[in-house]
Copies of this chain bind each other. A is one copy, B any other.
Amino acid sequence: MNFQLRKQYILQTLEQHGSVEVAAVAGHLRTTPITIRRDLALLADQGLVVRTHGGAVRPNMARHPIAFITKATAQGPQKEYICQLAARHIAEGDTIFIDCGSTTFPLCALIRHLKIRVVTNSLPVLFELAGSAVQVVMAGGEVDAKRRATHGAVATEHLRRYAVDKAFVGVDGVSLRRGLSANSEKEASIFLAVAASAGHVYLLCDSSKLERDQYFQFAPLSAVGTLVTDKQAPAELLAQHRDAGLAVLS
Interfacial residues, chain A to chain B (CB-CB below 8 A): 2-5, 7-8, 11, 18-19, 44-48, 50-55, 57, 59, 61-72, 109-114, 123, 126-128, 130-131, 135-143, 145, 148, 150, 154-155, 158, 161
Q: Across chains A and B, which 9 residue pairs bring their CB atoms closest together, nearest first?
A: A140-B140, A47-B67, A136-B143, A65-B65, A47-B113, A61-B69, A131-B145, A2-B52, A66-B131
Contacts of A141 in B (CB 8 A): 137-138, 140
Contacts of A55 in B (CB 8 A): 2
Separation of A54 and B61 alpha carbons in the complex (Å): 26
Which of B51, B59, B67, B137 is close to A67, meaning CB atoms less than 8 Å apart?
B59
Separation of A142 and B95 alpha carbons in the complex (Å): 13
A250–chain B nearest beta-carbon distance, Å: 23
Contacts of A50 in B (CB 8 A): 4, 71-72, 113
Contacts of A8 in B (CB 8 A): 18, 61
